[in-house]
Amino acid sequence: MAWVTLAYTIAVIVYGAWVRVTGSGAGCGKHWPTCHGDVVPRAHSIETAIEFTHRLTSGLSLIFVVGIAWLAFRWWERGAPVRRAAVLSVVFILTEALIGAGLVLFGLVDDNDSSARAISMSIHLVNTFILLAALMATIWSARSGRRLLAGAWGWRKTLLLICAVSLVIVSMSGAVTALGDTLYPIAENSGGVAERFRETSSASAPFLVRVRIIHPMLSIFAAVFMCVTALSIASTSEAPGVKRAALVAGALVTTQVAIGVANILLSAPGAMQLLHLFAATLVWCSLVALTFESGLAQGAGT
């Protein structure tokens, strides 16, 4: 059930990006949790249908997470790590809903290009990553029955922490870049990549256009560092689970870089933005899995 909930939550996250890409964030007006003041709205437009569907799927995700927490408290004893992880999952899916509600109620949707919206979306993404980590902690602690970050603090944990911070920063910049790509789409006849990058440095360009260059630069550093970390851990660990998780993480990072390059070359179409976000969630989950496997192996003395 926890695995299904994790997969379903990732699907809801990607669908939430589709709401942004289609400009449907204001599909229910400035109403939350109702839609245009109705519990079940009439089909005012395709934007209303898209936004309302997102709310329904998000609500179902909340029900799944609460169900996992109920089972954790039913099946495990007091103080079990799985209980704490399940509670964190509930907390962060609730904050996820509150942030989404704030975006609607304060009008930080549709064609709003303010810095407040950019900041809110970055916070939204950080909360999403923490939620995914909590769901994965529920799965891993249920499997092992032990603390996930056991053992002394060593070079592996330091490198993994740097990877996590780097990935969060890169993803925040990616969220802002994706917002700019949606509000200020790149024309197909805009010229080569070099010319587009020069346009981002223009003083007359909107803020969300000027920051486009930041995300690729940060991504290169984070990708290289994470690949080196994954290979180092894979080559030095004797635990099969750690080796496997490290190799998967490295492969996903490489794939994500390729998707990012294609996204730039194709002028960031909506479908590529969704694929890029989906790959980002998988990279994050692979890093969390590698961290948990490393902690369990270290706690077991291997």
User: Within this chain, do residues 193 and 123 fall inside the same structural domain, yes or no?
Assistant: no
Same domain, 163 and 274: yes
In this predicted structure, what is the pLDDT of residue 289?
94
Is 161 in the same domain as 300? yes
The total domain count for the chain is 2
Contacts of 197 (CB under 8 A, 6+ apart): 212, 213
Amino acid 171: pLDDT: 94
pLDDT of residue 194: 60
> b/e string for 120-157 if b means 16 or more Cβ within 10 A?
bbbebbbbbbbbbbbbbbbbbbbebeeebbebeeeebb
Residue of 202 and 285 predicted with greater confidence? 285
Radius of gyration (Cα) for the chain, nearest Å? 20
Quote the pLDDT of residue 301: 47
Q: Residue 43: is its pLDDT beyond 80?
A: no
Could you tell me the CA-to-CA distances from 81 to 64, 101, 132, 133, 227 in Å, in that order? 19, 31, 16, 14, 30
Same domain, 257 and 113: no
Higher-confidence residue of 195 and 67: namely: 67
Residues 167 and 192 in one domain: yes
Which token pair is 60? Answer: 């179902």
pLDDT higher than threshold 60 for residue 141: yes
pTM of the model: 0.91
**Is the per-residue pLDDT at 149 higher than 80?**
no
Same domain for 188 and 103: no
Q: Are residues 136 and 173 in the same domain?
A: no
Of the chain, the percentage scoring pLDDT greater than 90 comes to 62
The whole-number average pLDDT for the span 272-289 is: 96
**101, pLDDT greater than 50:** yes
Both 143 and 172 in one domain: the answer is: no
228 & 253 share domain = yes
Question: How many angstroms separate the CA atoms of 183 and 63, rounded?
Answer: 33
Above 80 in pLDDT, residue 235? yes
61 pLDDT band (50/70/90 cuts)? very high
pLDDT of 155 above 90? no
Q: Which domain holds residue 84?
A: 1-148
Kindly tell me if the per-residue pLDDT of 90 is higher than 50.
yes
- Provide the β-strand partners of residue 35: 38
Instruction: For the chain, give the mean pLDDT.
Output: 89
What's the rounded Cα separation, in Å, for the pair 275 and 273?
Answer: 5
Domain identity same for 76 and 90: yes
Boundary residue ending a domain (91, 118, 148): 148
Q: Are 122 and 216 members of one domain?
A: no
Domain boundary among 113, 148, 183: 148
Instruction: Write down the pLDDT at residue 146.
Output: 73
Picking from 118, 148, 178, the residue at the C-terminal end of a domain is 148
Domain co-membership, 153 together with 141: no
* Percent of the chain whose pLDDT exceeds 70: 91
Bridge partners for 38 per DSSP: 35
Q: What is the pLDDT of residue 302?
A: 43
Q: What is the pLDDT of residues 160-204, one digit of tens each?
A: 999 999 999 999 999 999 888 888 887 655 555 566 666 666 666
Mean pLDDT calculated for residue range 25-44: 84
